[in-house]
Amino acid sequence: MIKMTHRLFLLLAMVLVPFAALADQPNDAAALEGVEHGKVVFDINNSSASSLNLYLSVIRETHDDLVRQGVEPDILLAFRGPAVTLVSTDRERFDLTDFDALDQIADHVADLQMLGVRMEGCGVATRLFGVDNNTLLDGIQPVGNTFVSLIGYQARGYAVIPIY
């Protein structure tokens, strides 16, 4: 009888402890009050593979946090400047030490797209940095100029978060 009681207690603890941890987790309820759609463009303009890899992880967490808090994410990633080199299949300009981070970036891009995150690459940046638009990772749509895109998205109510 004691063994059965211990097992039942252990099972109950395994079920309830994760919910207790979530209850103590900080939330964004005040900021999200009345918000149904999280419209955001991440303006990505950095040149470090390891840094972009980290930011893409945080963007995934942001997506998940919005969902967890009852807000429908409407997310776009705008790659511009040297960031377009990091989302290209052409790796000639990189050291071998960057390849793991570049692989992780490609994985994050694919995972985020599966969640409905849209992505675009700046045509001005691809031209200036010598990146062939055809080498952008699958699902990243080339656009003429992400400055123009950012103007349009802001005019349509999207928040713009710069990533440098």
In-domain check, residue 15:
no
Structure tokens at 23: 């209850």
CATH of the domain at 87: 3.40.1260.10
Structure tokens at 102: 């570049």
Q: At residue 5, does pLDDT exceed 70?
A: no
In-domain check, residue 28:
no
pLDDT band at residue 15 using 50, 70 and 90 as cut-offs: very low
81 Cβ contact list (under 8 Å, min separation 6): 45, 46, 47, 122, 125, 129
Mean pLDDT of the 32-52 span: 97
In-domain check, residue 126:
yes
In-domain check, residue 24:
no
Tally of domains in the chain: 1
- Per residue in 72-130, pLDDT (tens digit) is 999 999 999 999 999 999 999 999 999 999 999 999 999 999 999 999 999 999 999 99
Domain that holds residue 103: 36-163
